[in-house]
Chains A and B, each alone.
Chain A
Amino acid sequence: MRLPRFEYSEPGTLEEACSLLAQADTKVLAGGTELLVKLKQKTITPRALVNIKSIPHLDRIEETEDGGLSIGPATTLHAAATSPLVRDRFGLVAEAAAAVGKPRIPYMATLGGNLCLDGRCFYYNQSLLWKQSLPPCYKDGGHLCHVVQGSDHCNALFVADTVPPLIALGAEVTLTGVDGETRMPLEDFYTGRGEEVNVLQPGQVLSRIRIPAPPPYSTGVYLKHSLREAIDFAVVGVALLLTVSPEDGTCRDARVVLGSVATRPLRAVAAEAALRGKALDEGLVRTAATLAAKETHPVSHLGVSATYKRRVIETLTKRAVRQAWRQAVAGSGSREGWR
């Protein structure tokens, strides 16, 4: 399959990028690891691409005054995974970045591209020729879903690995367009609609990712389960940020975020509530894991059955809580807290 023809530009500034993107049918090109595949398949055929990797400083990782991080969207996943700034205090983000299509994809792919990753589906992500005989699905502008017959919405799966950990950490994103900037929690960036996964408007660039300093006495974990060792999307990804009380070791707060289980990154709120304020023990771990599996409603998708996904959510949640708990007890979590 060949790339279709398109216009291409390499702007020198964000403003320039935004004005180029304000023109009809123009898309941001970052690492291209998702976008170019879709172009070759003619899943989408934009008129023009704007390469944001040419913008200086958009790949920087900096510490912010409040002890958090500010990461440029054009930062490659490899850079994010290996940066000491990310690894030392936001290990779960580094883990997730390294796990994206490992081992090769992280060298090309960007963090911004991962955040803006579209939903995946056995029917949507096919070539135009493959789709000849298919009536268009919701995501292609039609009125049905090929994955779940009779479904009233698109079921394209949200699979981006770095998002659950970033949401667990309470990250924020900045969107820049010709009309100015908006900042929002990353969690709110996602619509939950498979058709349009995020709130990006035409002409907007996701221009910055901010991670606040982790709360004192917190530790984070990202566990990804996939079927193949290399180059594989998650069957399920579980991110957990666990904050314990230094006095009695009880769970002060827990944020559990699941990937690859729905059309958006999903907070396992029932599991979080079950953990919050409780003394951590094996029984609680199991309860939380069971709740996480119960409160999600995965569909059989991309060759993985819903039942299996549930089992894996349960297992990974259990393991994530145990691991975070162990780290907390060992004091290897957020350094600030354990000083």
Chain B
Amino acid sequence: MGRLSVVGTSLPRVDAWDKVTGRAEYAFDVELPDMLHVKVLRSAYAHARILSVDTSKAQGLPGVRAVITGADMPKDPPLEALRNELYAVPPFSLATDKARYTGEEIAAVAAEDELTAEEALQWIRVEYEPLPAVIDPEEAMKPGAPQIHDDAENNIQYENRTEFGDVEKGFAEADHVFEDRFSTQLVHPCTLERTVCIAAFDSSGYLTFYDNSIDPYKQSRYLPKLLGIEPSRLRIVQKAIGSNFGALQGNLTPYIMCALLAKKAGRPVKLVYTREEEFINAGPRHMGVCYLRTGVKNDGTVTARDIRLITNAGAYGYLGPAMMTSGFTPCAGLYRCPNVRFEGKCVYTNTAVTSPYRSFGIVPPAFAMESMMNIIAEELGMDPVALRLKNITRQGDVTVVGQEISSSGLPECIEKTVAHIGWKEKRGRLPPNRGVGMACGMFDSEVRNAPFAGSVAYVKLLEDGRVKVISGEFEWGQGSRTVLSQIAAEELGVPLESVLFSELDTAAVPYALGPYGGGPVTLRGGNAVRLAAVEARRQLFAVAAGMLSVGPDDLELKDQKVVVRDDPVRALSSAQVAHYAKFILAEEIIGRGHFEPDTVMRDPKTYYGNYSSGYTFTAQTVEVAVDPETGQVRILDFASAIDLGKAINPMAADGQNEGCVGQELGPILLESLAYDKQGRVVNPNLVDYRLPTALDVPPITSFLVESHEPHGPYGAKACGQVSNIPAAAALAGAIYDAVGVWIKDQPITPDKILRALAEKEKREHAPA
């Protein structure tokens, strides 16, 4: 690889201008002629039998054009076929016999305007038979708890147990065994843009959806089956996305509702969630309870780990099992400990269906494990940094769960953040109520979660010399279009402004798995785009060689010109060649790139396997001041380093790093989706649900470590969802360093800190 000119450069995002000037077209902006507006009646109870739904009054209101209920749902949905397609069936239906969470869809109305639709909801009569509800997964597992699904005893959706090495032997070898319970809460990603779905049939019955969901391909596979439409007569056009972070990834219900209403009314329909609906319906991140045991030797060598994880799946538990696998394996792989046992249970509760909000499932176990590493260091009188360095997985390792670590810059991440914060001078030595903490993390850079886990892209050289990337990898705010465009620009020697990107239309662009985090796009999509661009360059040279009567190998690309290497006056602009190819040869220059990583699916039972072609690492340090009288935590400094292999766009990568930390500070310190005992979300708005504001996010120093991943394009790995993984444990460690208490359940509220301080005082003053 020669010197890079576009890749590796901090260029402004290609979509920045449109977005900040309001020109980007979001699904919300789509207005179709004669479009109706949809409102949804949602269950008023967390758990209730639905005895009857009477929509006759609503149907008769002026301006109301169609009403649907559970009775209109697809009959005999081909569940088996759906299950075979992918690992789990997402929610797709209005409630029929039973509602299982407050906010579940009961009926939907399409009317001439939003207000009429909203008012019509009040005229729908639902007869409920309320049932006792259960919100906490540990409660839900107890005998006698309300049964949410008939086929799930003790509300267990999924459970699994797996062991590597010999855990009992590992504990026997340990000098100390630590045991603790950690927990995290339900939190909501609060995307800037709310859920939008538009459905329109054309006169021949061809169905188009405009939306802002993040799984258009999955949906375009499922929906025809559920709606009884031939796949070729359905497409999804994805508009600009105002962030997503995984909130109820893959939820099909809005599509089904809109398609049925559009059909019934014979007009296009548009559904836009209210913020309240986002909170009660669009999947929160699951909460997790983690019981953890760790054996260590006096010198800090970790000998055994026993992890018991309980998560709430919510009422229907869609991605719960996937999140369990995805959360556990990187946690197991981060350290070299050869003896690991894992027991996971995914439990149905009467809450909204939970989702993989940023970093697919890892937050609950990572908080437990990294917190415990800090506790161990403290108890052994060891520096937490030294304890990490003693145990971390290194480049070249095959981890206990089968990950092949083809690159790791973790030691450098640690070194950078530790130096930044002044660890040596500060740890344990700061004035009272100030402290420093650190933690590490690991996540996959992409993942084989389906039989095809690669990416396909086309790169086209247009007749004016511009380049068009046609890819199904999409932009949901992470900057993927910019990065993929940079790659195409690099290979075809054009400036970034000369790269165009196709609109995402499932009927027009090649299949892709989609982000599943910010990273896979760079690794998978980046490789595919690079291969396509290289192929386009080959075609360019072939055509130019014919035009110049030289061999393709005699050519090189310089300043958007194809130049004869030994005779540089003989040159053609790329535009000339592309023009000739298109109009004279009638053979467009279009390269196809197909990338398939050399990975395997994790064994569904043991979870073993090298499921990603690269792994991203992170280390963080933080300094805090704690007010011991109010419990308020102030973050004075935060350093976050990610090993992303290679920064294709350092500015964008810094943005991911800082944004990821900033966002996670909410769940760590402030946020909690609060359900009352009856299962109602009591803070479904942005005042009472305390999302951090710009004033709450401290300065964050981002370090990018480039370890050069051999499987990634230009050595790149993922960087979008790793910096939130260690943040909670790093902060908890800093709080301990400041005031001497460990907070083991998130969010780390001032209230909890004061209570812990009071207990500590009591203990210290208790007569021996």
| Docked-complex contact B630 and A228, CB < 8 angstroms | no
A228-B690, A303-B688 known; A308-B754 Cβ under 8 A: yes
Per a CB cutoff under 8 Å, which of A130, A132, A231, A302 touches B693? A231
Tell me which of A90-98, A121-129, A160-168, A271-279 binds B.
A121-129
| Docked-complex contact A122 and B683, CB < 8 angstroms | yes
| B280 to A, closest residue via Cβ | A130
Per a CB cutoff under 8 Å, which of B276, B670, B683 touches A1? B276
| Docked-complex contact A133 and B128, CB < 8 angstroms | yes
A227 proximal to B (CB < 8 A): yes
Name the interface residues of B678-730: CB closer than 8 Å to any CB of A: 680, 682-684, 686-688, 690, 692-696
| Docked-complex contact A312 and B630, CB < 8 angstroms | yes
How many residues of A are in contact with the other chain, CB < 8 A?
A: 32
Q: How far is the CB of B132 from chain A (nearest CB, A)?
A: 14
Q: How far is the CA of A130 from the CA of B672 in the complex (A)?
A: 19
| Docked-complex contact A123 and B682, CB < 8 angstroms | yes
Q: How far is the CA of A126 from the CA of B275 in the complex (A)?
A: 12
List, in ascending order, chain A residues with CB within 8 A of B687's CB. Answer: 231-233
B44 proximal to A (CB < 8 A): yes
Q: How far is the CA of A132 from the CA of B632 in the complex (A)?
A: 37
Name the interface residues of A298-338: CB closer than 8 Å to any CB of B: 302-305, 307-308, 311-312, 315, 318
List, in ascending order, chain A residues with CB within 8 A of B115's CB. Answer: 2, 4-5
A229 proximal to B (CB < 8 A): yes
A230 proximal to B (CB < 8 A): yes
Name the interface residues of B107-129: CB closer than 8 Å to any CB of A: 114-115, 118, 121-122, 128
Per a CB cutoff under 8 Å, which of B114, B680, B686, B690 touches A130? B680
| Docked-complex contact B683 and A315, CB < 8 angstroms | no
Name the interface residues of A116-157: CB closer than 8 Å to any CB of B: 122-123, 126-130, 132-133
Q: How far is the CB of B631 from chain A (nearest CB, A)?
A: 8
Q: How far is the CA of A318 from the CA of B276 in the complex (A)?
A: 39
A130-B684, A132-B44, A308-B750 known; A227-B690 Cβ under 8 A: yes
| A232 to B, closest residue via Cβ | B690
Q: How far is the CB of A315 from chain B (nearest CB, A)?
A: 4
Q: How far is the CA of A233 from the CA of B685 in the complex (A)?
A: 14
Q: How far is the CA of A130 from the CA of B42 in the complex (A)?
A: 9
Per a CB cutoff under 8 Å, which of B684, B750, B755 touches A227? B750
| A133 to B, closest residue via Cβ | B44
What mask results when residues 739 to 761 of chain B are scored 1 for a CB within 8 Å of chain A, else 0? 00000000001110011000000
| Docked-complex contact B629 and A129, CB < 8 angstroms | no
Q: How far is the CA of A303 from the CA of B631 in the complex (A)?
A: 16
B541 proximal to A (CB < 8 A): no
A38 proximal to B (CB < 8 A): no
| Docked-complex contact B122 and A128, CB < 8 angstroms | yes
List, in ascending order, chain A residues with CB within 8 A of B686's CB. Answer: 231
| B692 to A, closest residue via Cβ | A228
Q: How far is the CA of A4 from the CA of B688 in the complex (A)?
A: 23
| Docked-complex contact A303 and B695, CB < 8 angstroms | no
Q: How far is the CA of A304 from the CA of B42 in the complex (A)?
A: 28
A225 proximal to B (CB < 8 A): yes
Q: How far is the CB of B177 from chain A (nearest CB, A)?
A: 34
Q: How far is the CA of A103 from the CA of B687 in the complex (A)?
A: 13
Q: How far is the CA of A308 from the CA of B672 in the complex (A)?
A: 17
| Docked-complex contact B696 and A229, CB < 8 angstroms | yes
| Docked-complex contact B276 and A304, CB < 8 angstroms | no
Per a CB cutoff under 8 Å, which of A130, A225, A232, A305 touches B630? A225
Name the interface residues of B44-64: CB closer than 8 Å to any CB of A: 44-45
Q: How far is the CB of A313 from chain B (nearest CB, A)?
A: 11
Name the interface residues of B21-55: CB closer than 8 Å to any CB of A: 41-42, 44-45
List, in ascending order, chain B residues with CB within 8 A of A233's CB. Answer: 687
What mask results when residues 242 to 285 of chain A are scored 1 for a CB within 8 Å of chain B, else 0? 00000000000000000000000000000000000000000000
| B118 to A, closest residue via Cβ | A2
Name the interface residues of B224-282: CB closer than 8 Å to any CB of A: 274, 276, 280
B398 proximal to A (CB < 8 A): no
| A1 to B, closest residue via Cβ | B274
Q: How far is the CA of A128 from the CA of B39 in the complex (A)?
A: 14
Name the interface residues of B126-145: CB closer than 8 Å to any CB of A: 128, 130
| Docked-complex contact B682 and A129, CB < 8 angstroms | no
| Docked-complex contact A308 and B751, CB < 8 angstroms | yes
| Docked-complex contact B696 and A122, CB < 8 angstroms | no
List, in ascending order, chain A residues with CB within 8 A of B693's CB. Answer: 228-231
List, in ascending order, chain B residues with CB within 8 A of A304's CB. Answer: 751
B377 proximal to A (CB < 8 A): no
List, in ascending order, chain B residues with CB within 8 A of A232's CB. Answer: 687, 690
Q: How far is the CA of A133 from the CA of B50 in the complex (A)?
A: 13
B88 proximal to A (CB < 8 A): no
Per a CB cutoff under 8 Å, which of A123, A128, A311 touches B754? A311
| A229 to B, closest residue via Cβ | B695
| Docked-complex contact A230 and B694, CB < 8 angstroms | yes
B674 proximal to A (CB < 8 A): yes
List, in ascending order, chain B residues with CB within 8 A of A225's CB. Answer: 630, 632
Q: How far is the CA of A257 from the CA of B500 in the complex (A)?
A: 62
List, in ascending order, chain B residues with CB within 8 A of A103's CB. Answer: 695
A4-B115, A228-B670, A315-B630 known; A129-B42 Cβ under 8 A: yes
Q: How far is the CB of B603 from chain A (nearest CB, A)?
A: 43
What mask results when residues 1 to 27 of chain A are scored 1 for a CB within 8 Å of chain B, else 0? 110110000000000000000000000
Q: How far is the CA of A110 from the CA of B44 in the complex (A)?
A: 35
| Docked-complex contact A230 and B690, CB < 8 angstroms | no
User: Known pairs A103-B695, A122-B683, A227-B749. 4 more at Cβ < 8 A?
Assistant: A122-B676, A133-B128, A229-B693, A308-B751
Sample 16 A-B pairs with CB under 8 A, ordered by A number.
A2-B115, A129-B42, A132-B44, A225-B632, A227-B749, A228-B670, A229-B696, A230-B693, A230-B695, A231-B686, A231-B693, A232-B690, A302-B688, A303-B688, A315-B629, A318-B629
Residues of A within 8 A of B (CB): 1-2, 4-5, 103, 122-123, 126-130, 132-133, 225, 227-233, 302-305, 307-308, 311-312, 315, 318
3 closest Cβ pairs, A-B complex: A133-B44, A132-B44, A229-B695
